[in-house]
Structure 1
Amino acid sequence: MTAPVPLDNIRGDLTCKAPLAKLVWFKTGGQADWLFEPADLDDLKLFMECLGGTTPVMALGLGSNLIIRDGGVPGVVVRLGKPFAGVEVTGELEVTCGGGAPGILAASKARDAGIAGMEFLRGIPGTVGGFVRMNGGAYGREVADILIDCDVIMPDGELVKLPVADLQYTYRHSALPESAVVVSARFNGTPGDPRDIGEEMDRIAKAREESQPLRTKTGGSTFKNPDGGKAWQLVDEAGCRGFQMGGAQVSEKHTNFLINTGNATSADIEALGEEVRERVYKQSGVTLEWEIQRVGRP
């Protein structure tokens, strides 16, 4: 397969037919046509310029909230590694994070600087780029509450700074173009005591541990909460707790989580999710929307 850009134009790692299952929480799915791990921001910018907006691009963080279909992902998967994982305090109540930085690191840096309001990032299993794109949230807060702006490489390689208003946030959705890559973000908090902030982070961590199947092959929250309701409750009331198809199962511990019991395919997981949606609709008349992204070829 011909490389999507001239290899002498890039310094990062470009891999053809790269297996993705090991990079996502479900541990299922096919290959990426190409996997690119840029050396730094300039390398990614040049790579995207060479693509010219004609090739599909998908950014990959920690691989949570994601089903990679068994047929693999067309185009290029961009994985932001260590060069994009930095977090630093850049103002009195301001934290700047790379797109590949995990939420727990962002929350911890803010805590150490006495910046409150970012504790909920401790409860989002992903990277800054992902939860800026999806308006990630947990425990009553979401990214829209704290984001100042973000730096984004657009599909044609242009690097732009977008204020939060330009993202047109709604529940778990933004107006970012599909092939755009979030490379950094600035967040704003409020003054706080590091001890109090740490206690809140500990409370969030404990709540996640007690209520969610964190030690299984899962993808995080499967369905969006409908207006005025809870997805897990609707799934439970439809009799789906523990329901299994192939190697995929609805979690006994938290019914808005699907689990790979060990030998599931991505098709098993997606089919189970669709069956749950159908049963919930028959029981309650509510059509659940997927929160987990499903990408690639069936």
Structure 2
Amino acid sequence: MACAEEIRSVCPYCGVGCGIVMEVENQKIVRVRGDAAHPANSGRLCTKGSSCDKPVTSPARLDCALLRPDRATPLAPISMDAAITETARRLRHILETYGPDAIALYVSGQMSMEAQYLANKLVKGYLRTRHIESNSRLCMAAAGTGYKLSLGADAPPGSYEDFDCTNLFFVIGANMADCHPILFLRLMDRKRAGAKLIVVDPRRTATADKADLFLQIRPGTDLALLNGLLYLLVEQGALDKNFIGTCTTGWEDMPAFLADYTPERVASLTGLAEKDIRTAARWIAEAGEWLSLWTMGLNQSTSGAWHTNALCNLHLATGAICKPGAGPFSLT
């Protein structure tokens, strides 16, 4: 009997990068489990991760290229070389007949950096079309731009270990319980140890059901809430003035900007109770170390970059950044 071989990989589904161990016998995956040594999930796996072997063995998966000469003809097997040649022939026909803007590419953040590079070289350098799009634009371009505006670099200034030592989770525009279940379990571990959870969402989600404070905000008013929280932190004197003075620029412009975001006006815009907005600001002020967590609810917006910018402002104003348990942490 052959011994099982262990192959370690990373789950691609929600962006967390959970470690997976796959046991392989006779060229087939016979068991999937979480990698207990991996820092992202410590052995836990969600449903998608634990069933990631199913697409590999599915009878619906293609094992060769298929081609039909025209719409009325059934698909027939073809070699990969022949399929690539035929694809190129058809693309060239479209290019020569209708021009470059008749061709568009839709690529994916799941592609490697090298594949993304080659796709862009093909589209812009050879085909000369202006049409290339990716799910990455809606998924993370807003957060990346917001980080760059605020911090000068387009990456979260924290790590998963911050989940284990923070005092407050501020979750906005994200249903972690359903979309990032392994991280949410880690959040709940810390919550049971005493950390508070604020959830901002127009819907009462599974994440909201676990909140200590649920802010059921009116859709499209997140920016008003975030700026309103900063207004209250200023009002409460809950700023880290030393950090602001030594590590930030532009603070002198904030008082005039924040004047439009009084608690009364923010309550009117967002549909939230003023006392709940004040409670959220007070908890942030008292937490010391706090994490903000967000995803598509903020990113997929015409003001998505400003959402990230406003969250970063809250962290910079309170000095809750670049230390254990604190910082703005986009989830994808």
TM-score under structure 1 length normalisation: 0.29
TM-score under structure 2 length normalisation: 0.27
Structure possessing the higher radius of gyration over alpha carbons:
2
Higher helix share: 2
